[in-house]
Amino acid sequence: MHRKPEILAPAGDTSAFLAAIAAGADAVYLGLKHFSARMQADNFGLTELSRLVELAHTHDRRVYVALNTMLKPGDPDAAGRLIARLARDVMPDALILQDLGVAEVARQAGFKGELHFSTLANVTHADGLRAAKAFGADRVILPRELNIDEVRSMGEACPEGLDLELFVHGALCYCVSGRCYWSSYMGGKSGLRGRCVQPCRRVYRQKGREGRYFSCLDLSLDVLSKTLLDVPNLSSWKIEGRKKGPHYVFHVVTAYRMLRDNPDDPQVRKDAERILKMALGRPGTHAGFLPQRSKGPTAFDEQTSSGLLVGKIQHDKEGTVYFKPRIELLPQDYLRIGYEDEPWHATQPVPRRIPKAGSFTLRMPRHKTPKAGTPVFLIDRREPEMMHILREWQNRLAKCHGRKATAVDFEPKLPAPVRGRKRPDMVLRSSVPHGMETRGSRGVVTGLWLSPKSVQEVSRTVFGRMAWWLSPVIWPDEEDAHRRMVVQALRNGARHFVLNAPWQLGLFPERDDLDFIAGPFCNIGNAAALACLREHGFSAAIVSPELAGEDLLALPKESCLPLGVVLSGFWPMGIARHQLEGVKPGEPFSSPKGEVFWARRYGQNTWIYPGWPLDISARRAELDAAGYAFGVRIDEYPPKNLPEARRASTFNWDLPLL
């Protein structure tokens, strides 16, 4: 008999935390004011959090703190001090992380709880689980793109001492977690740093047809969650929503607790589905969870915004903006007017009770006046019954004293920086080259994606001189093929491999005399992560291209490994497993601002590109002087009908990466 999985609830503020506990959540995850991948949530201070953890532990609940952003140069010191204060004053049960630098400094800072590797860390296949455990993981949070068969195979392959967590409800991203640079590429607000502005939810146009082609519905496994109960090592059902209010948290936790505890009761299932419909999320989808009935997560010609549609904007002759609600509105209900990418988009509370079909006048700035017909959504509410329950828990919280957080001295001990280890530049090609390319005294190494075609067509005489790049995402049903390709490449003499997730080390049966380079999709940006990579056998790293110029120039002075940097080429805005719906691959499409994009399908993944390349090659002299050991050029050939790029992107070189 397998143990029941915990119900893991989100909390973006104290009210949501108390709602989770009141509804019966076994554990709550939350973020702090810094290093959280949901920086738009209110998040918590340490003194406040210590009281909440005390309350949770008093009632045998667990608390996990998300420190799940990518760290920049200089961040490990601050992150280490924060973790040391957490360990001393708060004592949460686990840290959720994506960056190896957090794992490194957590050990040094004396944190004794568990380390949970986030979906942003991109552990997507069984050999990766074993490697993640070797890197220090106690739990891995699985990707939301897996179907039930893949979840079960991951559970069966999970090594002893590691457990798994899976999202069962909440918002979906179109791109794979940890493989989305869309928001960052379009303006420096990185999803890996918790600042995503959700450009995927905007309207795009292709050949005169418009739609929200990348805006996802909410994941809702609801009654299908029963199939997860017998998955070995799956210890947690996770609910997404750290930006949601207590109403959402209370209802969703209640529903999934009912579904977990009464999986064979048809009336309970009906009641749980009814409660989920009251939660004010987006319309739900099972997405690809059922392999025999897989479907895309988008409904590009439908409404995919969160909340319950409660009315549409009207204007009277005097210019008053109002709507007539389809349901009764309660004091402190919270409304959203329009969609996120519309100029009049706004949120506002309801000050007093408004009866059904009554009139609610909106007070909005003239420049944000919504047009007639704009939808109005109820996105949070404060029912009297729930508020009474929360007040009871607030009284219990008031009896918790917690600990006042004070400063702590901490500086991570990291290996000494290395300088002067030059390596040849690299050209990553998208197709099998006809010959080696050399240039200048330093030479150029050809990089090639590891694929069945490349392994078969490249001459053995050059295998050992080439750099073999592994895919940024390897899915469970692709793992055996990748393992065979690795074995064949090794037999053919391959010695240089660019791994685009650290956990891809698990694919290599032998590691002696091999040159492992951490690829740019590893999202490396700090000295602590580099120290962790060196400890596990990496000889060099290509830093994250989304770092700002000042960060790129600072990192070599702190690095214990030789570093490479992507100088030019088409860098993807994101990689998705989902098939394109409404957008034809290889054909340009555009945003309302006229920005052009294109997409291409490689294997199971959709790569989405901007219509203009990355190019910081003009900064080459500065980068060399800063200590970079090699540069990388990406040769990705855009569609022939793509409009000629009027510019290139320096990515975040001139921007502060928030």
Q: For 59-90, how does the pLDDT look when each residue is reduced to its tens digit (9 = 90+)?
A: 999 999 999 999 999 999 999 999 999 999 99
Question: Would you place residue 420 in the very low, low, confident or very high pLDDT band (cuts 50, 70, 90)?
Answer: low
Q: What is the mean pLDDT of residues 30-43?
A: 71
Give CA 122 to chain center in angstroms.
Answer: 9
Domains and their CATH numbers in the chain: 6-171+218-275+386-398 (3.20.20.70), 308-380 (2.40.30.10), 425-571+613-635 (3.20.20.380)
The pLDDT value given to residue 279: 93
Q: What is the mean pLDDT of residues 508-517?
A: 91
Each residue of 96-131: pLDDT tens digit? 999 999 999 999 999 999 999 999 999 999 999 999
User: Whose CA is closest to 80, among 658, 526, 560, 404?
Assistant: 526
Q: What is the mean pLDDT of residues 427-446?
A: 68
Query: Who has greater pLDDT, 516 or 42?
Result: 516
The pLDDT value given to residue 35: 78
Q: What is the mean pLDDT of residues 433-448?
A: 64
| Confidence check: pLDDT of 437 > 60 | no
Name the β-bridge partners of 614: 569, 649
Question: Would you place residue 301 in the very low, low, confident or very high pLDDT band (cuts 50, 70, 90)?
Answer: confident
Average model confidence (pLDDT) across the chain: 93
Question: Would you place residue 442 in the very low, low, confident or very high pLDDT band (cuts 50, 70, 90)?
Answer: low
The helix/strand count (H/E) of the chain reads as: 16, 32
| Confidence check: pLDDT of 441 > 60 | no
CA distance 141 to 117: 6
CA distance 183 to 399: 43
The Cβ of residue 293 has, within 10 Å, a number of other Cβ atoms equal to 9
| Confidence check: pLDDT of 26 > 50 | yes
Handedness of CA 346, 351, 356, 358 (dihedral sign): negative
The pLDDT value given to residue 434: 58
The residue whose two tokens read 């969703």 is 252
First-to-last alpha carbon distance for the chain, in angstroms, is 47
Q: Residue 52 corresponds to which tokens in the numbers above?
A: 């909440």
Residues 6+ apart with CB under 8 A from 524: 100, 518, 530, 533, 541, 542, 543, 544
The type of residue at 610 is P
| Confidence check: pLDDT of 633 > 90 | yes
The pLDDT value given to residue 318: 87
Long-range Cβ contacts of 391-399 (<8 Å, 24+ apart): 392/22, 393/18, 393/21, 393/22, 393/55, 394/18, 396/55, 397/14, 397/18, 397/51, 397/52, 397/55
Each residue of 390-412: pLDDT tens digit? 999 999 999 999 888 788 899 99
The Cβ of residue 377 has, within 10 Å, a number of other Cβ atoms equal to 21
| Confidence check: pLDDT of 135 > 90 | yes
Q: What is the mean pLDDT of residues 166-177?
A: 96
The pLDDT value given to residue 653: 96
Q: What is the mean pLDDT of residues 145-158?
A: 97
The pLDDT value given to residue 187: 82
The pLDDT value given to residue 304: 74
Each residue of 325-372: pLDDT tens digit? 999 999 989 999 998 778 899 999 999 999 999 999 998 887 889 999
Question: Would you place residue 658 in the very low, low, confident or very high pLDDT band (cuts 50, 70, 90)?
Answer: confident
CB 599 within 8 A of CB 583: yes
What's the pTM?
A: 0.94
Q: Residue 565 corresponds to which tokens in the numbers above?
A: 């940097």
Cα–Cα distance list, 655 to 189, 286, 322, 545, 559 (Å): 9, 38, 41, 13, 22
Question: Would you place residue 171 in the very low, low, confident or very high pLDDT band (cuts 50, 70, 90)?
Answer: very high
